[in-house]
Amino acid sequence: MADLAYDDGCSIFEYMYRDAGNWKTHGALLLSGAPLESAVRECLEWGDQFVAEQVGVPSLCPEHFAATGEGPSDLDHAYHEFVALRSASVEEVESLPVAGALSDLVKLMLAAKGRWDVRLSPNCE
């Protein structure tokens, strides 16, 4: 199955959560479909921000809180940051589970474009 996914083209969606204190937690998703970064970028708030919960991208906040040794604070917010969309390597295809189709993520992002809802994040009070 990994060979089939690789032959069809797979992408790595790189993103991170950065709190207001500039502490960063990085994440990556393996998605089926060839990368087309412009399709993602055009949907984002302020050029690189999105609400992970709104588009089905796993929130990095639990990992962030564990890494920083703190729970939610006034430094936390609802947005995750898009880093890059690139072709997956053979090693990534063999080691990461496919999280879904890039085309499905782009559809969700297009629906959210200009209407990002921070209330969907547990970091928004």
The per-residue pLDDT for range 40-56, each reduced to its tens digit, is 999 999 999 999 999 99
Is residue 64 within 8 Å of residue 27, measured between CB atoms?
Answer: no
Cα angle value 77/81/83 (rounded, 5°) = 165
Is residue 83 within 8 Å of residue 15, measured between CB atoms?
Answer: yes
Percentage of the chain modeled with pLDDT above 90: 79
State how far the Cα of 7 lies from the Cα of 104, in Å rounded to an integer. Answer: 19
pLDDT tens digits for range 81-102: 999 999 999 999 999 999 999 9
Decide if pLDDT at 76 tops 90.
Answer: no
Average predicted confidence (pLDDT) for the chain: 91
Q: Looking at residue 3, what is its pLDDT?
A: 43
How do the domains of the chain map onto residue ranges? 2-120
What are the beta bridge partners of residue 26? 16
